[in-house]
Amino acid sequence: MKILSRSFLGKSTSIAYPHGNSFTADGESVVVCRTADESGRPPQLLIRNLQTSEIRALPPIPTDAAAVQPNTTICFDVAHAAPRLVATYRADLWTLHLRRGATWRHVFAQPEGVKIQDLPAISPDGRRCLIGLDDASSHGVVEVDLESTQTRTLFVKKWHANHFHYSPHDPSWIGFAHEGPAEQITDRCWVWHPTHAPEGRVVFNQFKVSDDPAKPLAVGHERWTFHDVSAYVVAYAVSPSTKRGLYEMFADGREPRLLRETNTAWHCNVDASGRFAVIDTSAAWDAVPARGPEFENGVARHRQADREKLPNLSDIVLFDLRTGEHLCVARATRTKHPFHPHPALSADARWLVFSDATPGNTGSWLIELDLS
C-alpha cells in the first residue's frame, strides 16, 4: 500500500459525514462543502474531477437572503449508483442532479413544531432519502420519495434516534443509532427492516462482546457496508473494557467480529469490497494497542477536546483487513464539526478524503492510493 499523490481541496472545505458519501457514482469526482466565512459568503458545494483536478461550484441552494453565520455548512450525501445528491440547509431538504446545468429541487420542509436533523441519507439508486425528525418527546425517521416528494414515517422512538442510513448492500435494511454519551448508551447500534425488524432491533450486544461482561464496550460511528448486510463500527478509547477497535456487526443476527484491535479508533469507513477500511483516531495511532499512561493521557485529551471543542491530533490510518497491513496516511487536527477528520474511501479504494483543521490551512485533502 502506498500514497501516489496528495491534493488540498481548498480552504474551509469539509466532506460528507462518515455514513454518507462524497464520491460520485461514475467514480470521476468528489463533492465537498465550502463552509460560510466571516464575510457572510454562504456555504456552497464544490465538485472536483479526480483525474483533471478541475474544481467547479455546484449551483447555490436557493434560499432567502437572511444573514449567514460563519462556519455554517451544508450536510449532503451523494448516491452510490446514481448521479444525484441530497442536502439539508436551513431546515429544508433539497436534491440536485449532478449533470451540468441542473438546478436544485426542494423536496421537504421542516414541519411546524418539529426539528429536522442535519444528516440526510440518499438511497443507492438516488430515488429516496431518509431524514430524521425530532420533537419534544420523540425522534423518528421519514422516507422521502425524491420524484413525487411524498413521505412516509418509518418509525418513531422515545429516545434519541439518529444516524439513519441505508445498507448499500440491501437498502431494505436501515441502520440507525441510539444517540447519547458513549459510556452511558448500552444499545447504540440498531437496524430496521419492514418485515424482519419493523420496530428495529439492536445488532451489537455491548456486554457480550466485552472481555468483561460487567463492563460494556462503548461503540458507535457505525457505517453500513457494501459487501454484506453488515456495518463496520468502532469500540472507542473511552470503553471501560476491552477489546477496543474496529468491529463488523451484522443485521441478520450473526455475532460481531473484531477486525482490528486498537485503543484509539474514532470514526471508520470502508470500500466496496470490505477489504480496505480507514479510521481516524482520538489520540496518536497505536499499531500496538496503547496501554498505561500513554492510553490514559490520550483518553483524557480526547475527553477535554470533545467537552471544550478544542483542537486535538487525529491520525488517518488505512487497513488491509486481508493481509493485516496498515498505512499511516496523515496526521490531522480535529476541532468541532464539520472539522472532525471523517476519512472516507471511494468504492474502488483508489481515493481517500479527510478533513483537517490545521490552523491557517483548514480544509479537506484528497489522497490517491495504490493498494496493489
Altogether, the residues listed in the chain come to a count of 372
Classify residue 44 by burial, with Cβ atoms within 10 Å: 0-12, 13-18, 19+.
Answer: middle
DSSP string of 74-128? -EEEE-SSSSEEEEEETTEEEEEE-STT---EEEEEPPTT-EE-S--EE-TTSSE
Query: Strands 276-281, 312-320: parallel, antiparallel or unpaired by DSSP?
Result: antiparallel
Residue 195 corresponds to which cell in the numbers above? Answer: 418485515
pLDDT at 38: 74
Measured between alpha carbons, how far is residue 252 from residues 79, 121, 317 in Å? Answer: 24, 22, 29
Residue 329 corresponds to which cell in the numbers above? Answer: 496516511
pLDDT at 311: 96
pLDDT at 63: 80
pTM: 0.96
pLDDT at 371: 93
pLDDT at 67: 72
Contact assessment for residue 96 and residue 58, using Cβ atoms and an 8 Å cutoff: yes
pLDDT at 69: 80
pLDDT at 180: 96
Pick out the chain residues at pLDDT < 70.
65
pLDDT at 372: 86
pLDDT at 65: 62
